[in-house]
Amino acid sequence: MSGVKCIKTEKLLFLACLILLTGCATQKPDLPYGSLDTNSDFSLDTQTEAGKLPFFADELCAAAEDITDSSTIDTSDLKAACVYDISGRKVVYSYRANDRLYPASLTKIMTALIVLENCDDLNEEVTVGDVNIREQGVQLFGLKEGDVLSVRKLLYATLVNSSNDAALALALNYGDSVDHFVEMMNSRALELGCTHTHFVNPHGLPNEDHYTCAYDLYLMFNEALKHEEFVKIIQTVKYEIEYKDSEGESQSKEITSTNSYLTGAYSKPGEVSIIGGKTGSTASAGRCMILYADAKDGDPYILVVMGAGDTDVLYDSMTKLCNDCVK
Protein backbone atom coordinates (compact mmCIF):
# COMPACT_ATOMS: atom_id res chain seq x y z
CA MET A 1 0.00 0.00 0.00
CA SER A 2 1.27 3.48 -0.86
CA GLY A 3 2.37 5.81 1.89
CA VAL A 4 0.03 8.52 3.08
CA LYS A 5 1.10 12.15 3.00
CA CYS A 6 0.50 13.47 6.48
CA ILE A 7 -0.47 17.14 6.60
CA LYS A 8 0.25 18.91 9.87
CA THR A 9 -1.89 21.68 11.28
CA GLU A 10 1.06 24.05 11.47
CA LYS A 11 1.70 23.63 7.77
CA LEU A 12 -1.94 24.39 6.94
CA LEU A 13 -1.89 27.57 9.01
CA PHE A 14 1.34 28.68 7.36
CA LEU A 15 -0.04 28.05 3.87
CA ALA A 16 -3.27 29.91 4.62
CA CYS A 17 -1.36 32.93 5.95
CA LEU A 18 1.01 32.87 2.98
CA ILE A 19 -1.85 32.97 0.47
CA LEU A 20 -3.56 35.78 2.33
CA LEU A 21 -0.44 37.90 2.34
CA THR A 22 0.69 37.33 -1.22
CA GLY A 23 -2.58 37.79 -3.11
CA CYS A 24 -3.15 36.85 -6.74
CA ALA A 25 -0.15 36.09 -8.87
CA THR A 26 0.14 38.04 -12.09
CA GLN A 27 1.72 35.14 -13.93
CA LYS A 28 -0.57 32.43 -15.33
CA PRO A 29 -0.21 29.06 -13.63
CA ASP A 30 1.67 26.33 -15.43
CA LEU A 31 -1.20 23.95 -16.17
CA PRO A 32 -1.16 21.02 -18.58
CA TYR A 33 -4.47 21.93 -20.19
CA GLY A 34 -5.50 21.35 -23.76
CA SER A 35 -7.67 19.03 -25.81
CA LEU A 36 -6.74 15.39 -25.94
CA ASP A 37 -7.23 13.37 -29.09
CA THR A 38 -10.26 11.42 -27.86
CA ASN A 39 -12.96 12.86 -27.50
CA SER A 40 -30.47 9.36 -0.80
CA ASP A 41 -31.90 12.23 0.29
CA PHE A 42 -31.19 15.21 2.49
CA SER A 43 -31.59 18.96 2.57
CA LEU A 44 -29.52 22.00 3.49
CA ASP A 45 -31.10 25.35 4.18
CA THR A 46 -28.04 27.24 5.45
CA GLN A 47 -26.47 29.33 2.69
CA THR A 48 -24.00 32.16 2.60
CA GLU A 49 -25.26 35.68 2.01
CA ALA A 50 -25.50 36.36 -1.70
CA GLY A 51 -22.71 38.48 -3.12
CA LYS A 52 -20.37 37.98 -0.17
CA LEU A 53 -17.07 36.12 -0.33
CA PRO A 54 -14.43 35.71 2.38
CA PHE A 55 -11.18 37.61 1.90
CA PHE A 56 -9.28 34.32 1.67
CA ALA A 57 -11.19 33.25 -1.43
CA ASP A 58 -11.12 36.77 -2.89
CA GLU A 59 -7.32 36.62 -2.88
CA LEU A 60 -7.61 33.52 -5.08
CA CYS A 61 -9.16 35.68 -7.81
CA ALA A 62 -12.75 34.58 -7.28
CA ALA A 63 -15.70 36.84 -8.05
CA ALA A 64 -16.96 38.63 -4.96
CA GLU A 65 -20.50 38.77 -6.30
CA ASP A 66 -22.74 37.23 -8.94
CA ILE A 67 -21.72 37.80 -12.56
CA THR A 68 -24.70 36.85 -14.72
CA ASP A 69 -24.74 39.23 -17.70
CA SER A 70 -22.86 36.84 -19.99
CA SER A 71 -25.75 34.37 -20.26
CA THR A 72 -29.52 34.38 -20.23
CA ILE A 73 -29.63 30.96 -18.57
CA ASP A 74 -32.76 30.38 -16.48
CA THR A 75 -31.57 29.98 -12.87
CA SER A 76 -35.02 29.44 -11.38
CA ASP A 77 -34.49 25.67 -11.22
CA LEU A 78 -30.78 25.73 -10.31
CA LYS A 79 -28.90 26.21 -7.03
CA ALA A 80 -25.61 27.39 -8.54
CA ALA A 81 -23.86 27.81 -11.89
CA CYS A 82 -20.36 29.02 -12.81
CA VAL A 83 -18.02 29.31 -15.78
CA TYR A 84 -14.26 29.79 -15.33
CA ASP A 85 -11.79 30.76 -18.06
CA ILE A 86 -8.68 28.89 -16.92
CA SER A 87 -6.10 30.53 -19.17
CA GLY A 88 -7.44 34.03 -18.59
CA ARG A 89 -7.99 33.39 -14.88
CA LYS A 90 -11.37 35.01 -15.31
CA VAL A 91 -14.78 34.29 -13.84
CA VAL A 92 -17.02 34.49 -16.90
CA TYR A 93 -20.28 33.59 -15.16
CA SER A 94 -21.10 33.18 -11.48
CA TYR A 95 -24.45 32.47 -9.86
CA ARG A 96 -24.41 31.69 -6.12
CA ALA A 97 -20.91 30.27 -6.45
CA ASN A 98 -20.24 30.33 -2.71
CA ASP A 99 -23.50 28.92 -1.34
CA ARG A 100 -23.01 25.78 0.71
CA LEU A 101 -24.58 22.91 -1.22
CA TYR A 102 -24.54 19.15 -1.25
CA PRO A 103 -22.19 17.88 -3.98
CA ALA A 104 -23.44 14.28 -4.29
CA SER A 105 -20.92 12.32 -6.40
CA LEU A 106 -18.90 15.40 -7.35
CA THR A 107 -17.25 14.50 -4.03
CA LYS A 108 -15.37 11.82 -5.93
CA ILE A 109 -13.21 14.48 -7.59
CA MET A 110 -11.44 15.01 -4.29
CA THR A 111 -11.32 11.27 -3.64
CA ALA A 112 -9.55 10.76 -6.95
CA LEU A 113 -7.20 13.68 -6.33
CA ILE A 114 -6.06 12.25 -2.99
CA VAL A 115 -5.38 8.88 -4.59
CA LEU A 116 -3.53 10.33 -7.59
CA GLU A 117 -1.33 12.44 -5.31
CA ASN A 118 -0.48 9.49 -3.07
CA CYS A 119 -0.21 6.58 -5.48
CA ASP A 120 3.19 5.75 -6.96
CA ASP A 121 1.87 3.02 -9.25
CA LEU A 122 -1.70 2.95 -10.57
CA ASN A 123 -1.21 -0.71 -11.46
CA GLU A 124 -0.81 -1.55 -7.78
CA GLU A 125 -3.36 -4.20 -6.83
CA VAL A 126 -5.84 -3.54 -4.07
CA THR A 127 -7.58 -6.19 -2.03
CA VAL A 128 -11.04 -4.80 -1.39
CA GLY A 129 -12.13 -4.43 2.23
CA ASP A 130 -15.63 -4.10 3.63
CA VAL A 131 -17.37 -1.85 1.10
CA ASN A 132 -20.91 -2.93 1.81
CA ILE A 133 -23.21 0.08 1.29
CA ARG A 134 -26.69 -0.60 2.61
CA GLU A 135 -28.54 2.35 1.13
CA GLN A 136 -31.01 1.46 -1.56
CA GLY A 137 -30.81 2.75 -5.12
CA VAL A 138 -27.20 3.94 -5.06
CA GLN A 139 -24.71 3.44 -7.88
CA LEU A 140 -22.49 0.41 -7.24
CA PHE A 141 -19.92 -1.56 -9.21
CA GLY A 142 -20.74 -4.65 -7.17
CA LEU A 143 -17.45 -5.12 -5.35
CA LYS A 144 -17.20 -7.74 -2.61
CA GLU A 145 -14.72 -8.05 0.23
CA GLY A 146 -11.66 -9.93 -1.01
CA ASP A 147 -11.95 -8.87 -4.66
CA VAL A 148 -8.61 -7.85 -6.18
CA LEU A 149 -8.14 -5.15 -8.82
CA SER A 150 -5.78 -2.29 -9.59
CA VAL A 151 -5.95 1.28 -8.33
CA ARG A 152 -6.42 2.44 -11.92
CA LYS A 153 -9.49 0.25 -12.37
CA LEU A 154 -10.96 1.51 -9.11
CA LEU A 155 -10.43 5.08 -10.31
CA TYR A 156 -12.24 4.30 -13.55
CA ALA A 157 -15.17 2.80 -11.65
CA THR A 158 -15.23 5.81 -9.32
CA LEU A 159 -15.07 8.54 -11.96
CA VAL A 160 -16.62 7.00 -15.08
CA ASN A 161 -19.48 5.02 -13.56
CA SER A 162 -19.58 6.90 -10.23
CA SER A 163 -19.45 3.62 -8.29
CA ASN A 164 -19.76 4.37 -4.59
CA ASP A 165 -18.24 1.06 -3.49
CA ALA A 166 -15.16 1.74 -5.65
CA ALA A 167 -14.67 5.14 -3.98
CA LEU A 168 -14.98 3.46 -0.59
CA ALA A 169 -12.42 0.81 -1.57
CA LEU A 170 -9.93 3.52 -2.52
CA ALA A 171 -10.51 5.34 0.76
CA LEU A 172 -9.89 2.20 2.81
CA ASN A 173 -6.72 1.47 0.85
CA TYR A 174 -5.18 4.93 1.09
CA GLY A 175 -6.46 6.05 4.46
CA ASP A 176 -6.45 2.78 6.42
CA SER A 177 -9.89 3.92 7.57
CA VAL A 178 -12.63 6.04 6.05
CA ASP A 179 -12.25 8.62 8.82
CA HIS A 180 -8.53 9.02 8.15
CA PHE A 181 -9.09 9.33 4.41
CA VAL A 182 -11.74 11.98 4.99
CA GLU A 183 -9.24 13.90 7.14
CA MET A 184 -6.90 13.85 4.16
CA MET A 185 -9.70 15.14 1.90
CA ASN A 186 -10.53 18.02 4.23
CA SER A 187 -6.88 18.94 4.75
CA ARG A 188 -6.19 18.99 1.03
CA ALA A 189 -9.33 21.02 0.39
CA LEU A 190 -8.14 23.63 2.88
CA GLU A 191 -4.75 23.76 1.16
CA LEU A 192 -6.51 24.50 -2.12
CA GLY A 193 -8.46 27.36 -0.56
CA CYS A 194 -11.81 25.56 -0.28
CA THR A 195 -13.30 27.57 2.59
CA HIS A 196 -16.89 26.37 2.13
CA THR A 197 -16.17 22.64 2.11
CA HIS A 198 -16.47 19.82 4.62
CA PHE A 199 -16.45 16.14 3.72
CA VAL A 200 -17.53 13.19 5.85
CA ASN A 201 -17.24 10.41 3.25
CA PRO A 202 -15.39 9.67 -0.02
CA HIS A 203 -18.44 9.16 -2.25
CA GLY A 204 -20.98 11.91 -1.52
CA LEU A 205 -23.85 9.83 -0.14
CA PRO A 206 -26.19 11.70 2.20
CA ASN A 207 -24.91 13.40 5.34
CA GLU A 208 -26.00 16.78 6.66
CA ASP A 209 -22.40 17.73 7.46
CA HIS A 210 -21.10 16.96 3.96
CA TYR A 211 -21.09 20.05 1.75
CA THR A 212 -19.14 22.27 -0.60
CA CYS A 213 -19.86 25.05 -3.11
CA ALA A 214 -19.48 25.57 -6.85
CA TYR A 215 -16.34 27.68 -6.45
CA ASP A 216 -14.63 25.11 -4.22
CA LEU A 217 -15.47 22.38 -6.73
CA TYR A 218 -13.76 24.47 -9.40
CA LEU A 219 -10.64 24.62 -7.21
CA MET A 220 -10.60 20.84 -6.69
CA PHE A 221 -11.32 20.02 -10.32
CA ASN A 222 -8.72 22.53 -11.50
CA GLU A 223 -6.11 20.76 -9.37
CA ALA A 224 -7.18 17.28 -10.50
CA LEU A 225 -6.82 18.30 -14.15
CA LYS A 226 -3.08 18.60 -13.59
CA HIS A 227 -3.00 14.79 -13.57
CA GLU A 228 -2.94 13.30 -17.06
CA GLU A 229 -4.62 10.11 -15.87
CA PHE A 230 -7.53 12.07 -14.43
CA VAL A 231 -8.13 13.87 -17.73
CA LYS A 232 -7.95 10.55 -19.57
CA ILE A 233 -10.45 8.90 -17.24
CA ILE A 234 -13.08 11.65 -17.23
CA GLN A 235 -13.41 11.53 -21.03
CA THR A 236 -13.91 7.76 -21.15
CA VAL A 237 -17.25 6.54 -22.50
CA LYS A 238 -16.93 2.80 -21.82
CA TYR A 239 -14.31 0.78 -19.98
CA GLU A 240 -13.88 -2.95 -19.41
CA ILE A 241 -12.77 -3.82 -15.86
CA GLU A 242 -11.20 -7.23 -15.35
CA TYR A 243 -10.52 -8.38 -11.81
CA LYS A 244 -10.33 -11.43 -9.55
CA ASP A 245 -12.97 -12.21 -6.99
CA SER A 246 -12.30 -13.43 -3.47
CA GLU A 247 -12.10 -17.03 -4.77
CA GLY A 248 -9.41 -16.09 -7.27
CA GLU A 249 -11.75 -16.44 -10.23
CA SER A 250 -11.44 -13.98 -13.12
CA GLN A 251 -14.35 -11.59 -13.57
CA SER A 252 -15.10 -8.86 -16.09
CA LYS A 253 -17.58 -6.00 -16.17
CA GLU A 254 -18.07 -3.13 -18.61
CA ILE A 255 -18.90 0.28 -17.18
CA THR A 256 -20.44 3.25 -18.99
CA SER A 257 -19.99 6.95 -18.31
CA THR A 258 -22.71 8.81 -16.42
CA ASN A 259 -21.91 11.85 -18.62
CA SER A 260 -24.68 11.94 -21.22
CA TYR A 261 -22.70 14.30 -23.47
CA LEU A 262 -20.11 11.57 -23.89
CA THR A 263 -22.61 8.76 -24.45
CA GLY A 264 -24.61 10.81 -26.95
CA ALA A 265 -27.83 10.84 -24.94
CA TYR A 266 -27.63 14.65 -25.06
CA SER A 267 -26.20 16.61 -27.98
CA LYS A 268 -22.94 18.42 -27.37
CA PRO A 269 -23.14 22.21 -27.50
CA GLY A 270 -22.20 24.22 -30.58
CA GLU A 271 -18.53 24.62 -31.34
CA VAL A 272 -17.42 23.89 -27.78
CA SER A 273 -15.32 20.77 -27.34
CA ILE A 274 -16.47 18.77 -24.30
CA ILE A 275 -13.42 16.96 -22.96
CA GLY A 276 -15.03 15.30 -19.95
CA GLY A 277 -16.33 15.82 -16.46
CA LYS A 278 -18.15 14.37 -13.48
CA THR A 279 -21.82 14.10 -12.63
CA GLY A 280 -23.62 13.72 -9.32
CA SER A 281 -27.19 13.32 -8.19
CA THR A 282 -29.30 12.81 -5.08
CA ALA A 283 -32.88 13.86 -4.43
CA SER A 284 -31.91 16.89 -2.35
CA ALA A 285 -28.61 17.75 -4.05
CA GLY A 286 -30.41 17.75 -7.38
CA ARG A 287 -28.57 17.03 -10.62
CA CYS A 288 -25.00 18.30 -10.64
CA MET A 289 -22.19 18.40 -13.17
CA ILE A 290 -18.71 19.82 -13.59
CA LEU A 291 -17.22 19.95 -17.09
CA TYR A 292 -13.82 20.50 -18.67
CA ALA A 293 -14.30 22.05 -22.12
CA ASP A 294 -12.30 23.83 -24.79
CA ALA A 295 -13.38 26.90 -26.70
CA LYS A 296 -13.02 27.00 -30.48
CA ASP A 297 -9.54 28.51 -30.14
CA GLY A 298 -8.49 25.77 -27.69
CA ASP A 299 -8.69 27.83 -24.49
CA PRO A 300 -9.80 25.61 -21.57
CA TYR A 301 -12.81 26.28 -19.35
CA ILE A 302 -14.35 24.73 -16.26
CA LEU A 303 -18.15 24.86 -15.95
CA VAL A 304 -20.22 23.93 -12.90
CA VAL A 305 -23.97 23.43 -12.51
CA MET A 306 -25.43 22.37 -9.15
CA GLY A 307 -28.93 21.61 -7.95
CA ALA A 308 -30.71 21.30 -11.29
CA GLY A 309 -34.31 20.20 -10.89
CA ASP A 310 -33.99 17.30 -13.32
CA THR A 311 -31.68 15.86 -15.96
CA ASP A 312 -33.14 17.92 -18.81
CA VAL A 313 -32.64 21.12 -16.82
CA LEU A 314 -29.07 20.10 -16.04
CA TYR A 315 -28.05 19.50 -19.65
CA ASP A 316 -30.08 22.37 -21.08
CA SER A 317 -28.43 24.73 -18.58
CA MET A 318 -24.94 23.40 -19.21
CA THR A 319 -25.39 23.59 -22.99
CA LYS A 320 -26.54 27.21 -22.77
CA LEU A 321 -23.59 28.12 -20.53
CA CYS A 322 -21.23 26.50 -23.03
CA ASN A 323 -22.75 28.32 -25.99
CA ASP A 324 -23.00 31.69 -24.22
CA CYS A 325 -19.81 31.80 -22.18
CA VAL A 326 -17.13 29.61 -23.76
CA LYS A 327 -15.67 31.87 -26.44
Catalytic residue set:
105, 108, 162
DSSP 149-161: EEHHHHHHHHHTS
- One-letter amino acid at 280 equals G
- One-letter amino acid at 228 equals E
Residues in the chain: 327
Q: Cβ distance 304 to 217 under 8 Å?
A: yes
DSSP 94-132: EESTTS-B--GGGGHHHHHHHHHHH-S-TT-EEE-----
Return the SS3 of 89.
coil
C-alpha–C-alpha distance, residues 143 and 127, integer Å: 10
C-alpha–C-alpha distance, residues 239 and 231, integer Å: 15
C-alpha–C-alpha distance, residues 233 and 251, integer Å: 21
Q: Left if phi > 0, otherwise alpha if psi is -120 to 50, otherwise beta: which for 89?
A: left
